Amino acid sequence: MDVDLNLYLNKHYLLNAKREEIVSENAPLFSLQYYLLSDSDMMLESLRQYTHRMENKQHPGLYDQFPERHGNKDDYTSPDQLIAFVGALYLSKQIKKIKEIRKYLARHAFTYDNVRPGEINKDRLMQPAAIWFTAVASGRWWYRPALSGAIIYSCATKKGETSGKLKAWTMARTLRMKYTLKLCTRVLSGFNSWRDVFRTYYQEPAHPNRVLADKLR
């Protein structure tokens, strides 16, 4: 099946999960996955520009979820979105920006509250895997074993669950963690291949990520 990207692009030129969506909450993560599957310069540029617009200029290292709905309780930047932003910055070689995110997390007790910038909100504690992913992407290679363990754990647990496994795949592919991904593939819980994971998560047969993932094992 051919890939028809336009059916799923939103107004930010990022990838939605379904055709009828206006702006999918995890469009940045879906777009990062599309880039990793296709090596599309256009998608990486869209993701880079979007990440730049989401940057909070008053609080270096803090990024918002959506520009048009800032301040609503559902607009917290999630671990999925932070992974997408860090991935976009890493692939665009903007390591200084990733260091700002790492330092923001450290200064705020590893919490990440973009709705109330600068505050330490214990209810917005960032997931360890996202913290380690940020650290490794910023150049702190000694966090790589911790990240590798988290990625493998996500693949080996929660049989049949897809969201955590796709985040694990995305982090490993972004940082080119070949051996971690190889081991992750061997211990996939509930699936025979990454193709099956993508097929289960992306329900619509024509979704670009599902189509492109047909080549995965």
Q: Tens of pLDDT along 55-111? A: 999 999 999 886 555 555 567 899 999 999 999 999 999 999 999 999 999 999 999
User: How deeply is 137 buried, as exposed, middle or buried, from its count of CB atoms within 10 A (0-12, 13-18, 19+)?
Assistant: buried
- Distance, CA of 151 to chain centre: 13
What confidence score (pLDDT) does residue 23 get?
84
**What total number of domains does the chain contain?**
1
Is the separation of the CB atoms in 180 and 142 below 8 Å?
Answer: no
Dist. CA 51–CA 100, nearest whole Å: 14
Poorest-pLDDT segment among 30-39, 62-71, 135-144, 190-199: 62-71
pLDDT tens, position by position, 153-199: 999 999 999 999 999 999 999 999 999 999 999 999 999 999 999 99
What confidence score (pLDDT) does residue 67 get?
58
Which positions ≥6 away from 181 have C-beta within 8 Å? Answer: 151, 169, 172, 173
Q: Give the pLDDT band of residue 120 (cuts 50, 70, 90).
A: very high
pLDDT tens, position by position, 197-208: 999 999 999 999
**Domain region containing 172:** 5-215
Identify the DSSP state of 203: -
Q: Is the pTM of this model over 0.85?
A: yes
User: Is the per-residue pLDDT at 1 higher than 70?
Assistant: no
Helical H segments across 62-206, by residue range: 79-91, 95-107, 128-137, 144-156, 163-174, 178-186, 194-201
Dist. CA 71–CA 134, nearest whole Å: 25
